[in-house]
Amino acid sequence: MESMAKKKPRPRRSFTPGFKTEIVELCRRGDRSVGQVAKDFDLTETAVRLWVAQAETDAGEREALTSSERAELAALRRENRRLREDVEVLKRATAFFATETR
């Protein structure tokens, strides 16, 4: 029985917004499928489809959060988490000083 060799996972890559825009434009032209564009540039088809969907959203062609709305939401969530942590620290400090004054 042959042992199956485990594939090493592909390292996570990041791409510039300009590169993503070029890939989306290639897909929108219609002369090649999304799968073919992904294969030609050694990308995953899922990533390319997500880039195309986000570009459609940003252009107002699809109902979803735009890139700027996503960025704002992420920033607000970070701020909310920090403020919750600050409130917890203040609650502990209040409880500590309340027991000290008795």
Alpha carbon 86 to chain centroid, angstroms: 27
Closest CA to 23 of 13, 10, 11, 36: 36
Using only the alpha carbons of the chain, give its radius of gyration: 24
On the CB side of 33, how many CA atoms lie within 13 Å of its CA? 6
pTM tops 0.85: no
Sign of CA dihedral 23, 24, 30, 35: positive
Residue 2, pLDDT score: 55
Share of the chain above pLDDT 70, in %: 93
pLDDT digits (tens, 9 = 90+) for 30-66: 899 999 999 999 999 999 999 999 999 999 898 888 9
CA distance 67 to 75: 12
Q: What pLDDT band is residue 12 in, cutting at 50, 70 and 90?
A: confident
Mean pLDDT for all residues in the chain: 91
Instruction: Give 87-92's long-range contacts (Cβ < 8 A, gap of 24+).
Output: none
